[in-house]
Structure 1
Amino acid sequence: MTNNDVYFVGTMIGKKDFSDEFIEKGQWQLGWVNQEDNGQYQKMLALLNEIKIDDVVILKSTYTRTHDLPFENPNGKSVSVMKLKKLGHVKQNPHDGHNLFIDWESDFQPREWYFYTNRQTIWKVSNSDKIDDASQLIQFALHNIKQDYSYFLDKSGLIANAHKTNQTELQKRKQDFLNFYDQGKWTAVIPKANWLSGYWDDKQNYQKIKLVSIRQLLSYITSLTATENEALKLIPDNLFTITTSDEFVKISDVINSIILNHRQEVDALIDSLNFVEGNGRHGWGYSNFKKRNLLVY
């Protein structure tokens, strides 16, 4: 992950979209020329003055959509969408109150991000190295890591009743797993069940849990090949959704292959992204898991 902030900037000045002009001239401009007393301009100016050489700037437009979404929207509610048009790196901030000079990346492919958006002319998003809305957006913007729609659907309340019923069934499967393997047959069964399901639901024993699903954890590997990135799409966030042995074998082969090919980076990711703070129990941290045993259930 980058340690720098990322600045998502609008392309409209007045009623005109300046996207093409900004890209062609290698610049970006804050509006309100000759209107510098405007309160919104002063707010955006403070952010503009923070931007440094080599910082990432991304042209964006924000709107809403109800249909033609890459996920089910059975409730028919509007979803906030942010189109990322172009990514560049700042080569000069002259601190003149309006302009940035930018090297735009020629191979950046425009793409759409959902739910976590902002309509401000300059939106500063800070990467806190935590698995949250901001860090997911930055990974999507900089590395085209697929957005975890289920994470944002859960937060947005757009999940259909049918999906909630399905979640009840998945929770039952998880509990069945715990009941079976907790009979002295497996150590660390509780944290393993949580990793397999991609979420933690024991709030009594822990004050703070950091957890990502196996699919999401593997997606953070920076050296993945194009083939491996495609294969990741086969892995559900909740492995308890798998209902057939053939599907399980196929997905476990994908996971094992990626882990074997990127063992050192996987070790580092497990240590940084999956651990317990607070009143934890010895041996329940994810860094204590043996990767060769992750997939057996």
Structure 2
Amino acid sequence: MAANTSPRPPTYWFVNAWLGSQDFSEEFINGGFWENRLSENRSAYSAMVQEMAPGDQIALKIGGQRPAFVGAVVRHSWFQTIAIAATGTVIANVGDGIRANVEWTREPEPRVWSFYTNFRLIWKVVPSVSSDPDFQSALVAFAFNHEPQRVYSWLALRDLWRNRAQNREQSGSLRADVDFTQFVWAWFFEDASFKLREFVDPTIRNQSLSAFEGLLGRVTDYDPFTVMASWNRQSFDVDMRRDRAMRVKDALKLRTPLPEHFAGVATVDGNSRFCTVSPNP
């Protein structure tokens, strides 16, 4: 029987900077390595260290807690965070189950990621085989591509953190005037706006014009404001807005479910919002 030669999926490692009560960030970064110095749990993590392969991306993390949306949505309610102090690439595995050599790049300031966290010594992240692929892909993009975390959507639309913010019984902790169910459309709007950033290149926009012709009419170019406004006109009822939003979803190849309603979303004037005058006389 032939051996299984399927390629190893992209694997990312998030490793602690603090071991016990001591911060080893400077030593790890300056020395170009990471190692498990906690003798009492080496056997538990030995296999994971040995699995680190040259070319794997790795991040040095610091766990903690901080208030999320202080004064806006939650008062005095704390959420778990990790701070990314440095990122790098594994360049060699010593093979002892303790140490891997790493080419680190220090962050000017630790960048804080909230909600979806793991405080274990080593966190192995493989989005392609994860039960939480969206969470893990967003974490990888934040850590290694410096993409922002869309914090509001995580808080307002994900049950675990929404319920903690909305229902936690603590004196003075809850903004009773905030009804999170009003904002179920936020995730779709954010995904659409972030996806539109990929079309900043005119060449890419030109290649996608045909996908928008049924939505925007016959156009030679478009901008993100026109696309976002296409399902938010004053004259549209909910069904029409959902139909237009579905066309945008298909054109942008979004995976996010369509909103059931658009309560609280500002609409645009029903008059023409297209430029009808050619810039070339």
* TM class, shorter-length: 0.5 to 0.7
Q: CA deviation at 1:18?
A: 0.6
SS at match of 2:177: helix
Q: CA deviation at 1:135?
A: 1.0
Name the counterpart of 1:149.
151
Pairing of 1:108-127 with structure 2 (within 5 A): 110-127=110-127
Q: Among all aligned residue pairs of Structure 1 and Structure 2, give the percentage whose two residues are the same amino acid.
A: 23
Pairing of 1:1-20 with structure 2 (within 5 A): 4-20=10-26
Residues 162, 23 of structure 1: alpha-carbon distance in 2 compared, 3 angstrom cutoff? same
Q: CA deviation at 1:162?
A: 2.7
- 1:101 and 1:94 map into 2 onto residues whose CA distance is 7
Judge conservation of contact 1:7–1:124 (CA < 8 Å) in 2.
yes
- 2:251 and 2:106 map into 1 onto residues whose CA distance is 31
In structure 2, runs of 5+ residues without a counterpart are 1-8, 167-174, 202-222, 230-247, 259-267, 271-281
Q: TM-score, normalised by structure 2?
A: 0.59
Name the counterpart of 1:274.
255
Q: CA deviation at 1:105?
A: 2.3
Residues 58, 267 of structure 1: alpha-carbon distance in 2 compared, 3 angstrom cutoff? same
Q: CA deviation at 1:198?
A: 4.0
Q: TM-score, normalised by structure 1?
A: 0.56
Q: CA deviation at 1:224?
A: 6.2
- Aligned pairs, how many? 201
Judge conservation of contact 2:88–2:103 (CA < 8 Å) in 1.
yes
Residues 106, 10 of structure 1: alpha-carbon distance in 2 compared, 3 angstrom cutoff? closer
Residues 84, 296 of structure 1: alpha-carbon distance in 2 compared, 3 angstrom cutoff? farther
1:252 to 220, 225, 234: 225
Judge conservation of contact 1:66–1:73 (CA < 8 Å) in 2.
no
Find out whether 1:26 has 2:41 as its counterpart: no
Judge conservation of contact 1:88–1:104 (CA < 8 Å) in 2.
yes
Judge conservation of contact 1:53–1:93 (CA < 8 Å) in 2.
yes
Q: CA deviation at 1:163?
A: 2.8
- 2:101 and 2:73 map into 1 onto residues whose CA distance is 40
- 1:224 and 1:51 map into 2 onto residues whose CA distance is 37
- 1:102 and 1:268 map into 2 onto residues whose CA distance is 41
Q: CA deviation at 1:110?
A: 2.8
SS at match of 1:128: helix
Judge conservation of contact 2:57–2:87 (CA < 8 Å) in 1.
yes
* Deviation by residue 1:26-53 (Cα, 9 ceiling, x = unmatched): 1111122xx3xx4x43222121111100
Judge conservation of contact 2:84–2:107 (CA < 8 Å) in 1.
no
Residues 275, 87 of structure 1: alpha-carbon distance in 2 compared, 3 angstrom cutoff? closer
SS at match of 1:215: helix
* Aligned-residue RMSD, C-alpha: 3.9
Q: Which has the larger Rg?
A: 2
In structure 1, runs of 5+ residues without a counterpart are 172-195, 200-210, 226-249, 257-265, 277-283, 285-294
Q: CA deviation at 1:253?
A: 5.3
Q: CA deviation at 1:5?
A: 1.7
